[in-house]
Amino acid sequence: MRKQSSTNLENELLINGNCDMAYTLDLIGGRWKPSILWRLAYGAMRYSDLRRSLPAVSERILILQLREMESDGLISRKVYPEVPPRVEYQLTDLGKSLEPVINILTDWGAENRPDSEKRKVRCPVLTIK
Amino acid sequence: MRKQSSTNLENELLINGNCDMAYTLDLIGGRWKPSILWRLAYGAMRYSDLRRSLPAVSERILILQLREMESDGLISRKVYPEVPPRVEYQLTDLGKSLEPVINILTDWGAENRPDSEKRKVRCPVLTIK
DNA sequence: CGCATAACTTACATTTATGTTAGTACTTGA
DNA sequence: TCAAGTACTAACATAAATGTAAGTTATGCG
């Protein structure tokens, strides 16, 4: 829960209200959001698969990030009334429109990230289906 | 001061080590970094002018953000041995290379930010001198 | 002397983001 | 009956980011 008023929140609103770049960063800047975007770029995924593909994130945090992305309109959540339950997440058109943004962020990182900070995987260029 | 070990930090390293996009976001994602980048895009600025142009940020935080950007190689800090002191900050070549990244983040935000979150100013397209 | 200026630093306080653990409802299959 | 699977939620705990207020150093100026 966020405070109703604080300099911290006021500053966030001030910046997101005045700066388009900051607004975009706010939507994609959560710890796990890039990873989620990359996965959903290849098509819809159900919750359990998303979770298994991200073993380091806890359930609560994954759900939090998904909820935020949903309320920001980047992904949609579709519930299939089955047993056991099935919930699929996928990019909305708005989410898909991030493709060039994601690619340029990825390209810049690939170009400039020092080797010391690199591990094995390098995200390939994204082509959303 | 950061903890020497925590799941939080481990996850940050894991993600920045594996995902170029997350690495880029990490460099530009601080609260005041977009605003700083926009200002320095028009040329070097001394600390006091930067500070005056960002009345909402406190000294400590501004310095923190500048120090991080400096240690990430995005800006450089030049001290003129005068009294009173004069310190100028400016984009490095690496910082300047963010121009297309900044522009696409700005374009996407300008296109998709809901009116309700907009204030008066909209950052123009950036052309670094 | 006493004040002003610049670019900070220090100690402290608060807010926000992230993480841990256990528990829920429902049904199928062994 | 009992475990397993699914997609969560709740209560709690910690780490990190951000903010506040005052102090520092050095010198020029009135």
Query: pLDDT by residue (tens digit) across B27-65?
Result: 999 999 999 999 999 999 999 999 999 989 999 999 999
A29, with CB counted inside 10 A (0-12, 13-18, 19+), is middle
Note the pLDDT of residue B91: 98
B49-71 CB burial, b ≥16 within 10 A, e <16: ebeeebeebeeeebeebbeebee
B100 touches chain A (CB under 8 A): yes
Note the pLDDT of residue A120: 45
Strands (E), A10-105: 45-46, 75-80, 86-91
pLDDT-based confidence at B83, cuts 50/70/90?
Answer: confident
B99: DSSP letter: H
Phi, psi values for residue B121, rounded to 5°: -80, 135
B117: DSSP letter: G
Q: Which domains does chain A have, with CATH numbers?
A: 31-117 (1.10.10.10)
Are the Cβ atoms of B101 and A98 closer than 8 angstroms? no
Are the Cβ atoms of A35 and B29 closer than 8 angstroms? no
Note the pLDDT of residue A50: 93
B109 touches chain A (CB under 8 A): yes
C-alpha torsion sign, points B94, B99, B104, B110? positive
Note the pLDDT of residue A124: 46
Tell which phi-psi region holds residue A12, choosing left (phi > 0), alpha (psi between -120 and 50) or beta. alpha
pLDDT-based confidence at A83, cuts 50/70/90?
Answer: confident
Give the alpha-carbon dihedral of A42, B12, B22, A93, to 10 degrees. 40
Edge-to-edge strands of the sheet including B45-46? B45-46, B86-91, B75-80
Give the residue from B24, B28, B60, B94 with the most A CB atoms within 10 Å of its CB, the best one to mutate: B24
pLDDT in tens, A102-113: 999 999 999 999
Note the pLDDT of residue B118: 59
The larger pLDDT score, comparing residue A94 to residue B13, is at A94
| Residue numbers of A between 37 and 96 with CB closer than 8 Å to B | 38, 56-57, 94
Query: Per-residue pLDDT averaged across A65-73, rounded?
Result: 97
Are the Cβ atoms of A21 and B38 closer than 8 angstroms? yes
- Give the CA-to-C1' distance from B77 to D23 in angstroms: 24
Whole-number Å distance between alpha carbons of B98 and A22: 14
B108, with CB counted inside 10 A (0-12, 13-18, 19+), is buried
- Nucleic strand C within 7 A of Cβ A86: no
Give the H or E element holding residue A98: none
Question: Could you identify the residue written with the tokens 């123009």?
Answer: B124
Which protein residue's Cα is closest to nucleotide D5 at C1'? Answer: A84
DSSP string, A13-28: HHHHHH-HHHHHHHHH
DSSP string, B22-74: HHHHHHH-STTHHHHHHHHTTS-EEHHHHHHH-TTS-HHHHHHHHHHHHHTTS
pLDDT-based confidence at B6, cuts 50/70/90?
Answer: confident
- Nucleic strand C within 7 A of Cβ A6: yes
B110 has pLDDT over 70: yes
